[in-house]
Amino acid sequence: MKAVRFLLLVVLAFSASAALADEHNAFPGYKGQWNGFDNYEFTVDTEFGARPCRVVCPKEPAEGNPWVFRAVFFGHEPQTEIAMLKLGWHVAWIGYTDLVGSPENVSQRNSFYKYLVDKGLSKKPVLLGMSRGGITSMNWAIANPDCVTAIYIDNPVLDFRSWPGGFKPGKPSPADWQSVLKSYHLTEQEAKEYKYCPVDAFGPLAQRKVPILLVCGDSDHVVPFDVNGKVLYERYKAAGAPVELILKPGNDHHPHSLKDPKPIVDFYLKAWK
């Protein structure tokens, strides 16, 4: 009887994944190819207007329909996403680079997340954020801590007073700093005194033991490790939460990721299991 029940569960899980594969054509917009996988480009309505989106689909979805929620810079150093696609994971992205993890940014990602969950993808994606994608991913996760399996961030911006502000060690970017002030609705003084960047506001993730992987260059002059990744790593670890660090000696802000993404892939798979 137990064997029959187990077989039934396997069949049901396979049927759900197969059904999702059949539903791929339900994605609207343009269908093309990205690194050998079906790539759908369309828009999703948010409270701040329609935003461009992408969903890249695996050949056969893995059980549970897991997915990678990419933040900004779609296609940059894509080796991790390609590896996950080969394992049956979806990859999804919603477009904006000028909002630097602001509440508007979080709201737009919320809309896209709901859309994809309604399509049958897992309720707990893994996150991937490079550079300013770090603060984008972390702020979304902090706002939605029960909707995250794991977070990989790479040379991440985790305190906008460093980049783009330049008020701590970091390379100032005046145009991006103005985007921070505008999208967060802050005066410059309020931004300088802001207490809710991920280096300070990670508590909801630590409480739920959400795993974080940091991949950082120790010689990053744009988004210095000492006031971004290192601060989060030490504070998250001190809070008793699971965090890993891959530190690349002598590496500046670029290149991101790892030539061989296996450590990142293994991190995702361990968290998913």
E-state strands within the chain: 30-34, 37-46, 49-57, 67-71, 90-94, 126-130, 150-154, 212-217, 243-248
Tokens representing residue 103 in the block: 């509440």
Q: What total of structural domains would you count in the chain?
A: 1
Range of the structural domain that residue 232 is part of: 2-272
The pLDDT of residue 97 is 75
CA angle (201 as vertex; 197, 206 as ends), nearest 5: 135
Residue 211 has pLDDT above 50, yes or no: yes
Work out the pLDDT band at 219, boundaries 50, 70, 90. very high
CATH number at residue 144: 3.40.50.1820
The pLDDT of residue 15 is 40
Residue 236 has pLDDT above 90, yes or no: yes
**What is the mean pLDDT of the segment spanning 212-230?**
97
Bigger pLDDT: 99 or 84?
Answer: 84
Angle between helices 79-86 and 262-272 (to 10 degrees): 50
Give yes or no for a cis peptide into 145 (omega within 30° of 0).
no
pTM beyond 0.85: the answer is yes
The pLDDT of residue 7 is 37
Candidate from 10-24, 42-56, 228-242 with smallest mean pLDDT: 10-24
How far apart CA 154 and CA 215 sit, in angstroms, is 5
The pLDDT of residue 27 is 82
The pLDDT of residue 98 is 76
Residue 124 has pLDDT above 90, yes or no: yes
- pLDDT tens string 2-13: 443 433 433 333
Candidate from 90-99, 158-167, 192-201 with smallest mean pLDDT: 90-99
Contact 86, 78 (CB under 8 A): no
Quote the mean pLDDT of the chain.
Answer: 91
- pLDDT tens string 74-88: 999 999 999 999 999
**What is the mean pLDDT of the segment spanning 243-249?**
97
Residue 193 has pLDDT above 90, yes or no: yes
The pLDDT of residue 3 is 44
